[in-house]
Amino acid sequence: MPIQFAVLASGSRGNASLVRTEGVGLLIDFGIGPRALAQRLESVGASWDHISAALLTHTHGDHVDEHALRNMARRKIALYCHEGHRRGLESFEGFRELEQSGLVRHYGDQPFLTPAGMRVEPLELSHDGGPTFGFRIEARSGRAKRPVALGYLADTGHWTETIADNLTDVDLLGVEFNHDVELQKTSRRSPALIARNLGDKGHLSNEQGARLVAAVLSRSSPGAMRHLVLLHLSEQCNRPHIALDTARAVLRNRRIDLHAALQSPAHPNLWVEPNRRGRSSSKPAPKRSKRQVGTPAAEPSFLFSDAS
Ligand SMILES: [Zn+2]
Ligand SMILES: [Zn+2]
């Protein structure tokens, strides 16, 4: 069975995605309520019963829903978060219940394995929500020799060559295309919010996201990437056709399926097979380098909304 990837919600009003191998699922973020999550899961042929773990990028309110946390505690779903996320989570009863049940696991700068057998490599991002991470996730389907590699990166003001190195040869890349710079600058938002969104700790513009895609493609084997998913599009300061056109310009004629995930509804399932073209996605990429991640940010990581 191929790996199932579904963006359940994407944008400043809530984020959640599903990665599922044969019957076992991992949530990336849970920024919508448990009933809405159940409906979105059902729309892609899954349910809460399939979720064995959740992986948190950061504690902004569009990535963490208090009631979803309680539902996870009730269902004994393990939570993978960074130690620095504690400040943003500890006021939530669901988080305390998960801790009491021994279901809170901390990730740092090293790759780790989830109970679903997925290998997760945290990638430190630059954002004003406290410690914030993207991920390279490798999941094996059935008896396939090669894993499927997924890259997931949103809520970051900029990206680095090291991040691009670590996304080399992913089969599917989900990357933030948050805003069009002109629409952001000419919006009726406060100057402070505009500056924040355009700044180094805000969100990637369409052009920044496209440059990251180009950097990953330049490092990857031909044919490695088969899906590109645009994430966290601003409803006020972006338009799907602008984001898609910007992405298309760097994809050129490559055979890569292009998708723009929206706030609602869930994006239809993407099914990712292991690549049969002689490339091993578990093989370290030639230029992947050592990173410094896991240092809790000095700034507060309180949970607040992320008006992107
Ligand atoms: Zn966000
Ligand atoms: Zn955020």
pLDDT digits (tens, 9 = 90+) for 212-235: 999 999 999 999 999 999 999 999
For the domain 3-270, what is the CATH code?
3.60.15.10
CB 85 within 8 A of CB 301: yes
Contacts 24+ apart (CB under 8 A), 298-301: 299/128, 299/130, 300/87, 300/130, 301/58, 301/59, 301/84, 301/85, 301/87, 301/88, 301/129, 301/130, 301/131
Of the ligands numbered here, which is closest to the C-alpha atom of 125? 2
Distances (CA, A) of 63 to 8, 30, 48: 12, 6, 17
Q: What is the mean pLDDT of the chain?
A: 91
Poorest-pLDDT segment among 23-27, 87-91, 190-194 = 23-27
pLDDT digits (tens, 9 = 90+) for 234-273: 999 999 999 999 999 999 989 999 999 999 999 999 999 9
CA of 200 to the centre of ligand 2 (A): 13
- Core vs surface per residue 251-279: b (16+ CB within 10 A) or e: beeeebeebbbbbeebbebbebebbeeeb
Residues with CB under 5 A from ligand 1 (ion): 62, 155, 306
CA of 63 to the centre of ligand 1 (A): 6
CA of 81 to the centre of ligand 1 (A): 16
Global model pTM greater than 0.85: yes
CA of 308 to the centre of ligand 2 (A): 8
CA of 155 to the centre of ligand 2 (A): 5
* Domain parsing of the chain, residue ranges: 3-270
Q: Given a cut of 90, is residue 290 above it in pLDDT?
A: no
pLDDT of 142 reads 75
Of the ligands numbered here, which is closest to the C-alpha atom of 303? 2
